[in-house]
A and B are shown apart, each in its own frame.
Chain A
Amino acid sequence: MLELANVTKLFFPGSPDEKVALSGIHLSLKPGDFMTVIGSNGAGKSTLMNIISGVLTPDFGEVKINGVPVQQLPEYKRSRWIGRVFQDPMAGTAPNMTIEENMAIAYMRGKRRGLIFGVTRSKRHFFREQLERLNLGLEDRLKAKVGQLSGRERQALSLLMATFTQPQILLLDEHTAALDPARAELVTRLTEQIVREMKLTTLMVTHNMEQALRLGNRLIMMDKGRIILNVDEQRKPELTVDKLLREFEQISGHKLADDRVVLG
């Protein structure tokens, strides 16, 4: 489904600030895999997401989706296969457009946008059905501007918009980090439900150790642009936060340094 082979990315190459953001990353996800990603500050988690989604192109190595190399395709072309939710609740929706208009934009993921009305009666009916799954009452506020929604509502809507067209790959970039714990929990539960129902191949970056262990069937840990631990389906259920932290120190030789980490 998704394969990364020897992916390397440099920031500011040749300058005194040169930084190896990713070095020789190998990663392979099967259809339906749900992988959580944890790591210290500057480990390259977000860079990894940006390389997969096409915001950044790798300096070296290959990215394949369904066996097709895509590393040279720009983001807007790759988005046909990739749904994405950002950390910032403001990032995934257009604030000055209505809920149904935002849904209409998401509905056209990867399709040619022409001169057909974005919101028709039948599409509105479909959008309402989809919004009902969130249990937030948004289906009755189709004409409300998204900017008027709360952070949690916007993030739930972003999640729905990223997924209801059944993308091949779902990328979640700390999408609950900006919410308070109770609201983050609701969005997490929703994520779990949607990923399970739609059997999406998912990659989720998180700072919440407990969440990283609870969700998904696989886990990777990153440090200094490398994957230092790759936990498979069999071993994941046995992991605990303690074991994970100990393992990290053993392999990397230093403590997990993350000012935002939540141990759960």
Chain B
Amino acid sequence: MFASMLESMPGAIQLGLLYACMSLGVYITYRILDFPDLTVDGSFTTGAAIAAVMITHGYSPWLSTACAFVGGAAAGALTGLLHTKGKINALLSGIIMMIALYSINLRISKLPNLPLIKYETVFTHISPWLLMPIFVIVVKLLLDAFFQTDLGLSLRATGDNARMIRSFGAHTDNTKIIGVSLSNGLVALSGAFVAQEQGYSDQSMGIGMIVIGLAAVIIGEAIFGRRTVFWATLSAIVGMIIYRVVIALALRVPGFKPTDLKVITAVIVIFALVIPTAQRAIRQKRLARRRSAELAAALTGSSAGGDR
């Protein structure tokens, strides 16, 4: 069993890199904009479908991948519009887009399943082992830089204190739309890579993506924290790799079936969400108790010596 677990590692790490752009996208909405965006489940498939259709029609795989990004970004912009201009609740606007995309994705790909085995993909000439790490790092560094620009700062402030950034003249509708759009562009990009690597695009490949993205972001934060954007984006990437490794290991445990994947993911996310909150509460309580003991000691006066 142990040997087979080790064997599954490289595949898991590679999957983590293929999905890393998706967790970066989820990080933008979930952490930076404070906008729980469920469009992800749809836009991931949108990216895969656009790339697959274009590749099977003879377009360059790189152009197809770029168009996947644009398609995802358009879907995200629509979610942003629903939320800001239509005043629909954030969760609900994501769900509406996700459902709409289910049909739209079928329109794009015509078939529920498009094989890419016989076609040239971005991985035909460059191994995913070379391409993905470079690509993911470049995207990460570009994002880090973007979030230090005036526009990027206003996006971060939108999630941090919307009232404040409005009083300094940024239109928070626009910053939200830009952020959700960028996020879904990255998610679709990830979908395009996954489809090309696994050799097909599938109508149902996006189901549960948002939860996987959340799992990655939260796992990463538990390890690296999110002191700065630099660490936060790094933790979203590493979090995705760790998530894939954990899943690969879990599936090797006798008794688990591949169909258990989603419930394992759900349990990981639940733990990753509950544990930090519980830890913080315990730490706060301990700190309060220690401080009140100190204050009480100070009050009883100098006769006791007062070691503080």
Chain A interface residues (CB < 8 Å from chain B): 53, 74-77, 79-80, 82, 84, 86, 90-97, 101, 104-106, 108-111, 113-119, 161-162
Contact = CB atoms under 8 A, between A and B. Distances in A.
B285 interface: no
A104 B170 CA distance: 13
Nearest to A90: B161
B143 to A, nearest CB: 13
Nearest to A85: B167
A105 B172 contact: no
B157 interface: yes
Interface in B157-204: 157, 160-161, 163-172
A91 B153 contact: no
Interface of B: 145-146, 148-154, 156-157, 160-161, 163-172
Given A79-B167, A79-B169, A113-B170, A105 B154 contact: yes
B151 A115 contact: yes
A118 B148 contact: yes
Q: Is the interface of A mostly helix, strand, loop or mixed?
A: loop
A80 B169 contact: yes
A205 to B, nearest CB: 16
A91 B163 contact: yes
A77 B267 CA distance: 46
A76 B176 CA distance: 14
Of A76, A109, A115, chain B has the most CB atoms within 10 Å of the CB of A76
Contact of B165 (A86, A94, A110, A117): A94
A162 B164 CA distance: 10
A115 B146 CA distance: 7
A110 B170 CA distance: 8
A92 B164 contact: yes
A93 B164 contact: yes
Contact of A119 (B148, B167, B169): B148
B168 A108 contact: yes
B150 A91 contact: no
Nearest to A171: B167
